[in-house]
Every structure is written in structure tokens, then in C-alpha cells.
Amino acid sequence: MSEEFIRERIDELRLAINRHNSHYHQYDSPQVSDAEYDRLFRELQELEQAYPAFRTPDSPTERMGAEPLKGFDPVSHEVPMLSLDNALSDDELIAFDKRLRERLDTERIEYLAEPKLDGLAISLVYEHAILLRAATRGDGQVGENVTRNVQTIRSIPLKLNGKKIPQFIEIRGEIFMPKKGFLALNQRCRATGMKEFANPRNAAAGSLRQLDSRITATRPLDFFCYGHGVFVDQLRPKSHWKMLQLMRSWGLPVCPEGQIVQGIEACREYFQRLQEKRVALDYEIDGVVYKVDNFALQERLGFIARAPRWAIARKFPAEEALSVVADIDVQVGRTGALTPVARLRPVEVGGVTVTNATLHNADEVRRKDVRKGDTVVVRRAGDVIPEVARVVMEHRKPGASPFAMPSRCPICGSAVETVAGESTIRCSGGLACPAQHREMIKHFASRKAMDIEGLGDKRISQLIERKMIDSVADLYRLDVDRLKGLERMGRKSAENLVQAIENSKKTTLARFIHAFGLRDVGEATAQLLEQRLGSLEAIMDADEDSLMELPGIGPVVARNIRHFFDQPSNRKVTEQLVAAGITWQAVRTIKDTLHQPLAGQSFVLTGTLDSMPRDQAKQELKKLGARISASLSSKTDYLVVGDNPGSKASKALDLDVEILSEEDFLSLIR
Ligand code: IVH
């Protein structure tokens, strides 16, 4: 078969499969039998396997997922992914509107009101209309590259279709799991003995952060877009609403509940209406987002810190339920922090069974005066850890005694210390405290760090007690013979554990740094360090000043990092780990070159321009990558209209081609 023939067949198969997909998913009316569909799909897979040169990222076969990854690469967001300010009451919403009206000196503001979707923020980069990269929000500056997983989500187009698609655009939106899909997934988990997910948001997060995209492909994820990141300004519609309509025209799903509302009264009515509709929607929402619709006004308002001044989230009230405190325990964490935890009689709060609630710290317990036996209001807001909101004093049993934090560590008996300015009490035992020691190793082995499967609480305690490990470097010296003698450990499990430890050696620099468990250095900061400093040596040797130059790293975190790597014992363990064979790949970043902002856009010019001859105008557009054609068609993106334009202008209206005045044109080329 000639290559040309193969390519044609591949194109044909892709078209057919895409058509069947839309009939099946969008219109609910399949046009072929499952068997026929499978046959086409397999043929395409086989051809692509035999002719890898013809594989493209928009092929429907990409939806199936691929070989597992070892970790996610960090991605730096060109335009930071911001968060939203919250209005906790109607009054705060009214104050927001008043503030904006004063700044803009206007009577009434047009807002776009839409549900606050309870999922995960995602950034989708389309270059030449093809989905090239998908990244999580991370800390807003640096996220994770989850492209392989996102390609498996059916409602996210692998290729945009339609007009006025810029050569480079970043779409922002929310990935979530519909309620129905969530229930079905948990049913599947129950049937196969897997752990169930606590709520749709967790299920969505867990599914999106799968290293094996073939697993993600089996999860019912969905998506709505609500905004954009990088986008060449001049080509942008004039308002958020119009932008959403344009994105919808490209095949991107937009939440149908969004609506333009005029002024604050209408905002409140929308909130009421949506709250009533909430249970009936097939996806979880936790409030309303109000955005100033007009882009020019948004720009005038700008940003404060990490949130835009032109938008606000009004959350639905938190969900609450009554329970009884069976006991108050004190947990010792990895950094020695003592956290009081209320053990509760199990209670349903917003669809989730809660048995523990954090009491945060000694100050909080004192402030709320929570005592054993108390009836309490338990509150859960979104993905926040459940907490005890308040005690129902009328139900307090006589003789209940106030809770006091211990003066010695409940695990190792070391004295506790209070740090000036912090409400946290810490065990002073350091790694001599079995709890801290265990938590530190547990963190090192955890999924988001070195990801050593099967190394849980009990196993770690056992290994420490038997003196088989002391530092994390000792893990890499364990062998099957020594392990298989342990209680509840046969040869097979010993082999599995050794294999899991071996597998963990291939990792990413960010995971490795995160695994050390430095105070205040979480995943996002570790990724930032990897992305900006690039190598372990550079991170270990960076001084506090250069660390503080990195976005989001302040003096305290800089000092913690420096302090950690100044300890000879920490340097030694790090070196031992590297010597044991822990490796990672060099860091990659994506470059989005915007030097040809009009590439892929087709222009027609008509009439005479005041500022320059038409030929020069064409040259200017070509320099920016635009295609110029002589006649209008439905494929034309823009018509530039000068004086005495003739019939083209009216034809453009019929063809729904956007018309640019000379002024628009000049601002575009500038
Ligand atoms: S707009 C700068 N619109 O809320 C604008 N965000 O607190 C920020 N979210 O990380 C995004 N629904 O994940 C926007 N309709 C919506 C949203 C929404 C949910 C999430 C988003 C973001 C977080 C900000």
C-alpha cells in the first residue's frame, strides 16, 4: 500500500470515528453498532502503530490513554491562574458592587453570573487549534502537565473547529465529575473491593492525577470552560459573555447556567434561583461567581494580590450537622505539631460521612471550649477538612471537664515547645519521637512523594522497631531475605515491596524535594524549585536571597530550605539516596512563542485606508502571520473595511465575518 493511500485511510477512519462519537455522546443516537465502531477503531489503531509518522495529537485513539508516567512535569503558567475573593454574605456582595461602581464611576454594572463549579481548575493550550498541553493550577504559578489524562476526557475537543481560532490560545475551565458518574464509579469501587471516593471533587482530582492515563480514560470526567489565559488581545471579543459564545462555537463546552445580570438586585435573584436549582444539577457547585462582563472595564479594575478585582465568589452556606464528641485525641505530625482531633459519632454532612473533625490547635479548643461528651455542630465547606463549628452548650453534661493540651508528647514523652507567634505546640523529640519518625518516612513514601506502594503506617512502624530502617536511605538497602522473616510478610509481599522501592528510584526532582518533607515546602513549592533552579545541586546550594527571588517564596520558607540543607545529616541522607540510584529526568518547559499572533487567520481588505496604501496594510498583516485573500468566503475570519467599501461589507454580514474598521486594524497591527 502506498503511503498516500494509508494517510487517506487514516483520515477517513478518524472522520468516521469522530462522527460516530458525536452521534453517540452529543446526540445520544448511535449510527453504527458497537462492533462496527470497534472495528474502525482497531483498524485506526493498527495503522497508527504501523505508521507512527502519521500519528497526531488530535486522533481519536489518543482518548484511550497510554503507558503510565513516572511523574508529572511541571508547567509554568504564562498568565498566573488566580483565585477568587469570597463574599461571605449579601452585605459583602453589596459592598463589592458599590466599590466597583465607585471605581468605574457608573450607576449599574453588567455582570456575568455563573455557577462556581466544584472541581479542579485546568489550563488547556491549543496551538493551531490542536490541544497541545493541559496543566493543573498548582500554586497558580506552576502546575502539572496532565495532557495525557485530559486527552481522555470526551467533552474536551482534541481539535477546535470553527472560525477566528487564534494560532495560540489558552482556555481555562473546570474539570469535574458529574454526580451520576460519581455514584456509578463508587458502585464499581464497592463491587471490586476498592476504596470509595469521599465526594465527586476528590474523585475528579484522583482521576485527573492518575499516572496511568488508561485509568483516567475509564473515569466519567467532564469539563466546562469559563475563561482564558494567553490570548492575543486585539482578536478578543469585547466581553466575557461573547468570549464564552466564541469558545462554544469552537466546540468547547460552556456551562448553560451562565447568565448576564444587570446590577446587584439581579445578582441576588440569580443566587436564589441557582441555590434552588442546585440539587437538580448533575454536577456539584458551591456558589456563584460574578464577573464584570466587559473586558475593557475588567482591565480598568485590574488585580489585587492573587485575585482579580473584577470578580467575586459568593459561596452557598456551609453544610452542618449535629454529632457527639466521643473523645479528643492528640496526633503528632511529621513536623512534630500536636493536633487535637475530635472523634465523633459518625454523621452525614453534605453527603459525606464524617467521623473525625480537626480542632486545629490549643487556641481553637480553648476558644470553642470543646469537651469530651459535648454535642457539637460539625461543618464541612467544600473540600475543607471537617471542623467543629461550635458546641451546643444546652446539651453539655454536668461535670464535663475542659480539655487541656498535654505538656509532654503523647507518643514519646518529650517536652512540648511553643513557638512564639504560633498557636502550634510541637513535640521536641525530633526523629527520636517514633510518631515524627514514622510520619516522616510515611511522607517520603507517599503517593505524591516517592510513591512507594504498600509502605503504610504499620509496615513502617514495624521496620523502625526491628531497626531495619532508621533514615529513609535505609529503605533502599532492604532486601527480600531480610524482609520475608517479618510478621505478616511472605516471600511474595517481600518481593513486591522491594520491587515498589526499586520502582520509586525513577522519579522527578520535584517529588524528590517534596519527599524530604521540609516545613512549608509542599508539592507546588518543590515544583517551583525544580522549574526555576533546575538541578538538585542548585537547590541545595541556593542562598536565602536567591530563593526569595522566586515567586511565592518568602523569608520563612527560604530560611527553612537553607536550614535543611545546612544540616550535615540531611546532606548525607540526600547523597546516600542519590548514590542508591534515585534519578530523574532533566526539566522541560514549553515555550509559547507569540511572534506570529495572526497565524492561521484569514483577512480580506476592502475600500481605501487613510493611514497607508492597501498593499502596505497587507504586508503588515502578513508579517504577523495572517493569510490575505482577494475574495470573501465563509472561511474568512476578518474583513478590514476602509472608505468606499463596495459590496464586500454587506456580504461579510451575510457570511457572519467580523468587520474591522481602520481603527481596529491599526490597533491590531500595533
Ligand atoms: S474564574 C480569575 N469561574 O474557583 C478568575 N472560577 O477560587 C478565576 N471556579 O481556581 C477563575 N467555577 O477552579 C471562575 N465559573 C467559574 C468557576 C471558577 C469554579 C474555581 C476555579 C478557581 C477557583 C477560584
pLDDT tens profile 141-150: 888 999 999 9
Distance CA 425, CA 335 (A): 10
The answer, yes or no, to whether residue 485 has pLDDT greater than 90, is no
In the predicted model, what is the mean pLDDT of residues 473-478?
95
Amino acid 378: pLDDT: 93
In the predicted model, what is the mean pLDDT of residues 404-425?
88
In the predicted model, what is the mean pLDDT of residues 298-313?
88
Amino acid 257: pLDDT: 97
In the predicted model, what is the mean pLDDT of residues 468-476?
94
Q: Kindly give the distance from the C-alpha atom of residue 61 to the centroid of ligand 1, in angstroms, as a whole number.
A: 31
Catalytic site includes residue 116: yes
The answer, yes or no, to whether residue 591 has pLDDT greater than 60, is no
Which DSSP string corresponds to 348-379? EETTEEEEEEE--SHHHHHHHT--TT-EEEEE
The answer, yes or no, to whether residue 43 has pLDDT greater than 70, is yes
Tell me the per-residue pLDDT of 91-139, one tens digit each, with 9 for 90 and over. Answer: 999 999 999 999 999 999 999 999 999 999 999 999 889 999 999 998 8
Q: Kindly give the distance from the C-alpha atom of residue 171 to the centroid of ligand 1, in angstroms, as a whole number.
A: 13
- Grouping H, G, I as helix, E, B as strand and the rest as coil, residue 287 is strand
Comparing 186-190, 319-323, 597-601, the range with the smallest average pLDDT is 597-601
Distance CA 537, CA 441 (A): 23
The answer, yes or no, to whether residue 161 has pLDDT greater than 80, is yes
Amino acid 235: pLDDT: 75
Q: Kindly give the distance from the C-alpha atom of residue 204 to the centroid of ligand 1, in angstroms, as a whole number.
A: 16
Query: Rg (Cα) of the chain, in Å, rounded?
Result: 29
In the predicted model, what is the mean pLDDT of residues 297-305?
86
**All cell numbers assigned to 421:** 507567634
User: Do 315 and 377 contact (CB within 8 A), yes or no?
Assistant: no
In the predicted model, what is the mean pLDDT of residues 170-191?
92
Amino acid 528: pLDDT: 81
Q: Kindly give the distance from the C-alpha atom of residue 174 to the centroid of ligand 1, in angstroms, as a whole number.
A: 8
Distance CA 630, CA 624 (A): 18
User: Do 642 and 609 contact (CB within 8 A), yes or no?
Assistant: yes
User: Do 123 and 139 contact (CB within 8 A), yes or no?
Assistant: no
Q: In what order do the strands lie in the sheet with 638-641?
A: 627-628, 602-606, 638-641, 658-660
Q: Which residue has the cell 489558552?
A: 170
The answer, yes or no, to whether residue 314 has pLDDT greater than 90, is yes
Amino acid 381: pLDDT: 65
Residue nearest atom 17 of ligand 1, based on CA coordinates: 116
Beta bridge partners of 521: none
The verdict on the CB of residue 340 being under 6 Å from ligand 1 is no
The verdict on the CB of residue 257 being under 6 Å from ligand 1 is no
Residue nearest atom 14 of ligand 1, based on CA coordinates: 226
In the chain, pLDDT over 70 holds for what percent of residues? 96
The verdict on the CB of residue 533 being under 6 Å from ligand 1 is no
Q: Pick the closest to residue 70 from 169, 144, 17, 151 (CA basis).
A: 144
Distance CA 402, CA 225 (A): 50
Looking only at the bridges linking them, the beta strands covering 285-292 and 110-117 are antiparallel
Amino acid 589: pLDDT: 39
Amino acid 234: pLDDT: 59
**What value does the mean pLDDT of the chain take?**
89
Query: Residue 587: which pLDDT band, with cuts at 50, 70 and 90?
Result: low
327 vs 27 pLDDT, higher one: 327
Counts of helices then strands in the chain (DSSP H, E): 24, 26
Q: Tell which phi-psi region holds residue 178, choosing left (phi > 0), alpha (psi between -120 and 50) or beta.
A: beta
Q: Which residue has the cell 507546588?
A: 524
User: Do 637 and 601 contact (CB within 8 A), yes or no?
Assistant: yes
In the chain, pLDDT over 90 holds for what percent of residues? 56
The answer, yes or no, to whether residue 603 has pLDDT greater than 60, is yes
| Active-site entry in 116, 164, 291, 368 | 116
Centroid of chain to Cα 641: 43
The answer, yes or no, to whether residue 596 has pLDDT greater than 70, is no
Q: What domains sit in the chain, N to C, each tagged with a CATH number? A: 3-55 (1.10.287.610), 85-315 (3.30.470.30), 318-427 (2.40.50.140), 433-504 (1.10.150.20), 507-584 (1.10.150.20), 596-669 (3.40.50.10190)
In the 3-class helix/strand/coil scheme, how is 402-420 assigned residue by residue? Answer: CCCCCCECCCCCCEEEECC
The answer, yes or no, to whether residue 3 has pLDDT greater than 50, is yes
Amino acid 117: pLDDT: 97
Q: Pick the closest to residue 348 from 319, 326, 375, 325 (CA basis).
A: 319
CA trace torsion 103, 104, 109, 115 (10° rounding): -60
Tell me the per-residue pLDDT of 526-537, one tens digit each, with 9 for 90 and over. Answer: 888 887 888 899
The verdict on the CB of residue 289 being under 6 Å from ligand 1 is yes
Q: Which atom of ligand 1 is nearest to the CA of 313?
A: 7
The answer, yes or no, to whether residue 444 has pLDDT greater than 80, is yes
The DSSP call for residue 466 is T
Q: Kindly give the distance from the C-alpha atom of residue 647 to the centroid of ligand 1, in angstroms, as a whole number.
A: 45
Amino acid 174: pLDDT: 98
In the predicted model, what is the mean pLDDT of residues 231-239?
77
The amino acid present at 602, given as its one-letter code, is S
Residue nearest atom 24 of ligand 1, based on CA coordinates: 83
Tell me the best of 114, 226, 241, 295 to mutate to test the pocket of ligand 1, counting ligand atoms within 8 Å of each CB and taking the most: 226
Comparing 278-287, 306-315, 513-522, 586-595, the range with the smallest average pLDDT is 586-595
Tell me the per-residue pLDDT of 164-177, one tens digit each, with 9 for 90 and over. Answer: 898 889 999 999 99
The verdict on the CB of residue 117 being under 6 Å from ligand 1 is yes
CB-based contacts of 451, cutoff 8 Å, min separation 6: 445, 503, 504, 507, 511
User: Do 61 and 41 contact (CB within 8 A), yes or no?
Assistant: yes
Query: Residue 592: which pLDDT band, with cuts at 50, 70 and 90?
Result: very low
In the predicted model, what is the mean pLDDT of residues 240-248?
95
